[in-house]
């Protein structure tokens, strides 16, 4: 039987409050400055000095502006760094808007196909409700970006630049989702009215035409061929005429996407280590690359990342960036805020408990470009963000190793660095990955800005 809170209980709590030795000091500090400033430990700034024993020079940080395309910016950053070095193009960027256009177009088709497949279920069904809650959005995953590039290629930012709607995506997302929900309801009705598959698909194609028009007006029509004209850092002039986006990727980027795989660290009881997982309804390109995650122990993930950094290759990773972070200073550390001391209360949870309870999940993707190793162990990591040059150290952040343990959930690793047993586990598991429910925390999309 439920029990209400009595006045006697409240009085007991008030008496207990006055017995806490620092109650009045803590109250004044928190009420005047806010919880985070009142509990901030300045020692963190000393411990996270931006000096690293292993560091890859990657140049100027990009800026995703008011959009949730961190996963896209970070992935393209991993691809542009070797290009910058090979072709002597300082501060060169690949077009994030180009992949943004095709991602939203493909996500629209992905939504329509899932609506058709679930048309026999009620709108109150949890999975149907999940689909209609957000038909498409800015967020995504590594494998989803690979699926776009494998189908459409990539272009330089100079060929297909940002627009007002890519820099600030809220109006476009609202407009597109309104259209998709409206069309989704119509598709459900067509299926339930017994229309043939050909009739349903014909109507879907008309709907996709509307989507294409909305995207083209908002973002521009993506090029099918273009001239790549540039002057390198040595002032030498170059031009590559009538090149397609796929040809550009093969010639200038040439990254082996098939062998760059997603690893996760999800120490929950429902996810055995060294197994491969996928997430229901998570994707964008129908018939394209499926999202797959190989679950590793955290130290296994770190070892692979360090091997990759030592080889000169940066690492795309996903984390919960809003937790224990100081955006302006560019610091990520579990000791940054001492709320346990401020409130004399235990807030500690294991990584598994945070995932199982919804306390934490991936919300942002960045790039690891360095690590500081002391006595054979990593102590802090250098992070390239995509929030421009104002936050942190000209756009770069410093992450403590303890923060990695608590809030890093995903890292993309070149398969060549995996030991034979993990290669075997991935190759066997990717054929028939364990399916997670759509709302599983490992299905969370990176979108924070």
The structure tokens listed for 177 are: 């989702």
The one catalytic residue among 165, 284, 320, 385: 385
Decide: 94 and 156 in contact? Cβ < 8 Å. Answer: yes
The one catalytic residue among 70, 97, 165, 177: 70
In terms of Cβ atoms closer than 10 Å to its own Cβ (0-12, 13-18, 19+), residue 288 is middle
d(CA 364, CA 405): 16
Least Cα distance to 444 among 181, 197, 139, 167 occurs for 139
Active site residue 364: yes
What's the 3-state SS for the chain?
Answer: CCCCCCHHHHHHHHHHHHCCCCHHHHHHHHHHHCHHHHHECCHHHHHCCCCCCEECCCCCCCECCECCCHHHHHHHHHHHHHHHHHHCCCCCCECHHHHHHHHHHHHHHHHHHHHHHCCCCCCCCHHHHHHHHCCCCCCECHHHHHHHHHHHCCCECCCCCCCHHHHECHHHHHHHHHHHHHHHHHHHHHHHCCCCHHHHHHHHHHHHHHHHHHHHHHHCCCCCCEEEEEECCCCCEEEEEEECHHHHHHHHHCCCHHHEEEEECCCCCCCCCCCEEEECCCCCCCCCCCCCEEECCHHHHHHHHHHHHHCCCCEEEEECCCCCEECCCCEECCCCECHHHHHCCCCCCCHHHHHHHCCCCCCEEEEEEEEEEECCEEEEEEEECCECCCCCECCEEEEEHHHHHHHEEEEEEEHHHCCHHHHHHHHHHCCCCEEECCCCHHHCCECCC
d(CA 265, CA 272): 10
The structure tokens listed for 374 are: 């002391």
Q: How many CB atoms lie within 10 A of CB 210?
A: 15
The structure tokens listed for 222 are: 């993506």
The one catalytic residue among 173, 265, 364, 414: 364
Least Cα distance to 71 among 90, 99, 92, 93 occurs for 99
Active site residue 146: no
Which sequence positions are flagged as catalytic? 70, 364, 385
């Amino acid at each position: 039987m439920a029990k209400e809170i009595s006045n006697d209980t409240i009085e007991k709590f008030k008496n207990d409050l006055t017995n806490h030795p620092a109650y009045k000091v803590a109250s004044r500090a928190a009420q005047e400055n806010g919880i985070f400033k009142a509990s901030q430990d300045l020692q963190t700034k000393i411990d996270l000095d931006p000096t690293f024993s292993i560091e890859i020079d990657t140049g100027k940080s990009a800026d995703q502006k008011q959009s949730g395309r961190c996963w896209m910016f970070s992935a393209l950053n991993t691809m542009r760094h070797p290009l910058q070095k090979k072709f002597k193009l300082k501060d060169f960027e690949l077009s994030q808007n180009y992949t943004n256009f095709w991602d939203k177009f493909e996500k629209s088709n992905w939504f329509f196909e899932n609506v058709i497949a679930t048309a026999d279920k009620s709108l109150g069904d949890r999975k149907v409700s999940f689909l209609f809650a957000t038909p498409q959005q800015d967020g995504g995953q590594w494998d989803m970006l690979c699926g776009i590039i494998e189908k459409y290629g990539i272009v330089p930012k100079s060929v297909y630049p940002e627009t007002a709607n890519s820099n600030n995506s809220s109006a476009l997302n609202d407009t597109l989702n309104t259209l998709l929900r409206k069309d989704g309801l119509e598709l459900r009705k067509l299926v339930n009215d017994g229309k043939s598959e050909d009739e349903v698909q014909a109507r879907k194609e008309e709907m996709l035409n509307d989507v294409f028009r909305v995207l083209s007006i908002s973002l521009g029509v993506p090029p099918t061929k273009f001239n790549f004209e540039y002057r390198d850092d040595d002032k030498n002039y170059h031009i590559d005429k009538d090149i397609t986006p796929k040809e550009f990727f093969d010639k200038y980027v040439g990254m082996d996407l098939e062998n760059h795989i997603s690893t996760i660290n999800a120490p929950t009881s429902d996810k055995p280590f060294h197994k491969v997982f996928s997430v229901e309804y998570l994707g964008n390109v129908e018939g394209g690359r499926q999202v797959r995650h190989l679950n590793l122990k955290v130290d296994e993930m770190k070892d692979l990342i360090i091997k990759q950094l030592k080889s000169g290759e940066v690492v795309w990773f996903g984390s919960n960036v809003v937790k224990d972070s100081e955006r302006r200073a560019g610091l990520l550390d579990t000791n940054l805020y001492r709320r346990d001391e401020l409130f004399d209360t235990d807030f500690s949870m294991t990584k598994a408990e945070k995932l199982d309870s919804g306390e934490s999940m991936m919300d942002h993707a960045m790039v690891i470009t360095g690590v500081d190793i002391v006595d054979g162990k990593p102590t802090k990591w250098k992070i390239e963000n995509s929030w421009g040059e104002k936050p942190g150290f000209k756009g770069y952040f410093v992450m403590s190793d303890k923060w990695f343990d608590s809030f890093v959930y995903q890292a993309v690793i070149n398969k060549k660095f995996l030991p034979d047993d993990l290669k075997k586990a991935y190759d066997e598991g990717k054929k028939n990955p364990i399916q997670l429910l759509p709302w599983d925390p490992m299905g969370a999309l990176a979108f924070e800005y």
